[in-house]
Amino acid sequence: MEQTRQWKSYPKKPIRSFRDLEVYTKTLECAVVIASSVRTSVPDFPELSGMVNCALSIPLWIAEAHSIRFANKKEGITLLERAMAGCNKMVVYIEEMVGVYGVSSGILPEEKTEKTEKKKTNSIPIPRNTLSLELADDLVKKYIEVRGKIFRLEQSWKKWDTEDAMRKV
């Protein structure tokens, strides 16, 4: 016997402004976390300014794309593609940060003890941070999820454009 999945459908909230877009709110939440918590947790990360600028730019691109989608659909789609690329860049930045600085213990690659630190007085100290692996994983998951949603939004805008062209014929 074949089973079919029944999905619960809920009426979608009407989109009146870019602030109603879930992709905007999710990327804004991530940007706030990056600009406040992550920036203070790992101040020595060499790509920190690029990371913060990228995180803050993604919601801006989404808002701008929403604003110009009727007047200049091609530019609106381009801005959505920039936002998707920004999500990919954020995943790379976060994974690089975790790779360079490790997780909340701040100890890489092997655990240091007082005995090993006394023996190695010439060694370069590994920067300590308070960035947790859970926070990094959560941010990566959110950016990957939002990237997919931005892609579906872009497809929806493209579909709307072709449907509009079909009506004119």
Calculate what percentage of the chain has a pLDDT beyond 90: 48
Q: Which pair of tokens denotes residue 119? A: 């023996």
Q: What is the pLDDT of residue 91?
A: 96
Across the chain, mean pLDDT equals: 80
**Region 53-59: what's the mean pLDDT?**
97
More confident residue, 107 or 113: 113
Is the model's pLDDT at 109 over the cut of 70?
A: no
**Region 149-159: what's the mean pLDDT?**
93
Q: Confidence class of residue 118 from pLDDT cuts 50, 70 and 90?
A: very low
Say if residues 74 and 92 touch (Cβ distance below 8 Å): no
**Region 9-25: what's the mean pLDDT?**
82
pLDDT digits (tens, 9 = 90+) for 38-50: 888 888 888 999 9
Q: Which of 75, 122, 131, 81 is nearest to 103 (CA)?
A: 131
Is the model's pLDDT at 99 over the cut of 90?
A: no
pLDDT digits (tens, 9 = 90+) for 66-89: 999 889 999 999 999 999 999 999
The CATH number of 18-109+126-168 is: 1.20.1440.60
CA gap 82, 123 in Å, rounded: 42
CA gap 83, 33 in Å, rounded: 18
State the CB neighbour count (10 A cutoff) for residue 123.
Answer: 10
Q: Confidence class of residue 161 from pLDDT cuts 50, 70 and 90?
A: low
3-state helix/strand/coil string of the chain: CCCCCCCCCCCCCCCCCHHHCHHHHHHHHHHHHHHHHHHHHCCCCCCHHHHHHHHHHHHHHHHHHHHHCCCCHHHHHHHHHHHHHHHHHHHHHHHHHHHHHCCCCCCCCCCCCHHHHHHCCCCCCCCCCCCCHHHHHHHHHHHHHHHHHHHHHHHHHHHHHHHHHHHHC
Say if residues 103 and 132 touch (Cβ distance below 8 Å): yes
**Region 128-141: what's the mean pLDDT?**
81
From residue 47, alpha-carbon distances to 61, 111, 118 in Å are 21, 25, 31
